[in-house]
Structure 1
Amino acid sequence: MIDRAYCRRMARYNAWQNRSLWAVMEPLSQSVLTDDAGLPQGSVLGTLNHLLWLDRMWLSRLYKMTPPPVTELEAVDLTATPAAWWAERFRTDGALRMWADTLATVDLHGQIAFWSISRHSDVIVPRDACVIHLFTQQTDLRARVRQVLGAVGHALPPTALFLMPEE
């Protein structure tokens, strides 16, 4: 269903979208990003920290990267400031791109076993479904953040995949 080219494109898209979002966030006050915005994880930064945590968790399962140093419940506080978030986000996006660049399509086949935090049990599931979930989860959580930032008047860059710059 998916292949290395899909993963490489989506890893590039993820990094592009995070850079674009950072360009919007960087000039904002910390309170705009840390005050409760009605998101499931509270603030914009809390939601982005949660996404950063999720990406690291998936990379620990798919790429043998070290899992995040905090639990899911502590994920909203993974980084304390927007600048710290961006530094960690940049590193994680690089790891995600490295994973995608070193994949063989065969690496996407078969099953993967891990402890599911959402199901509170061990699971064995198709590896390709987990990869698709990784990328759709990123888009979903960024969309929630974009909705909050747009609602308070911040201009947002495009998200259309076909508008992604070539490298």
Structure 2
Amino acid sequence: MTDRTYCRTMSRYNAWQNKGLWDVLKQMDEADLAADRGLPQGSVLGTLNHLLWLDQMWLSRLFKVKTPDVAHDKTAQMTPTTAAWWAERFRADGALRMWADTLASVDLHGDLAFWSLTSQSDVIAPRDICVMHMFNQQADLRAQVRLVLVGMGQALPPTALFLMPRD
């Protein structure tokens, strides 16, 4: 179901979308981005921090990189500013692309065992389903942030996958 082409495409898409958000965020007032907007982690920055943490957690499971140093209940405060967020986001997106670029389709077979903070239990799940979940989670949380940013009067770049620049 999931193969390395999908992973490479989606990792590129993730990086492209995050760069588009950064281009908008860097021109905005930090206080506006830190204000509670009713998002899953309160603010725009808090929700983007949480997504960054989630991506780092998935990378630690899939690519054996270091787990994030931030506790699950502190993810919204992972970085204090959008500039700090972008620096960490850029590194995580690079790691995600490196994982996808070095992936063999066989690496997506089998199960992934991990401790789930959501269910507070050990989980064994198909690796390809976990990968799809990671990419869907990215799109879902970014969509929620984008909705708030549009409500704040921001013009946002397109999200259509077919408009993604080719490398």
TM-score, normalising length: structure 1: 0.99
Identity across matched positions, percent: 66
For residues 139 and 32 of structure 1, the distance between their equivalents in structure 2, rounded to whole angstroms, comes to 22
Q: Structure 2: which amino acid aligns with 1:78? A: M
3-state SS in 2 of match to 1:125: strand
CA distance in 2, matches of 1:76, 1:165: 31
Residue matched to 2:76:
76
For residues 77-92 of structure 1, the aligned pairs below 5 Å read: 77-92=77-92
**What residue number does 2:36 align with?**
36
Deviations 1:74-112 (A, max 9, x none): 110100000000000000000000000000100000001
What amino acid does structure 2 have at the position aligned with 1:49?
N
Distance in 1 between the 2:36 and 2:119 partners? Answer: 27
Give the AA of the match of 1:155.
A
Aligned residue number for residue 130 of structure 2? 130
**Counterparts of residues 35-54 of structure 1 (less than 5 Å):** 35-54=35-54
CA distance in 1, matches of 2:147, 2:51: 16
| Secondary structure at the counterpart of residue 124 of structure 1 | strand
Q: What are structure 1's unaligned runs of at least 5 residues?
A: none
Matched residue, 2:109: 109
Task: Report the counterpart of residue 8 of structure 2 in structure 1.
Answer: 8
Q: CA deviation at 1:129?
A: 0.3
Match for residue 155 of structure 2? Answer: 155
Poorly superposed stretches of 4+, deviation over 6 Å: none
1:21 Cα deviation (Å)? 0.5
- Aligned partners of 2:142, 2:149: CA distance in 1, in Å? 10
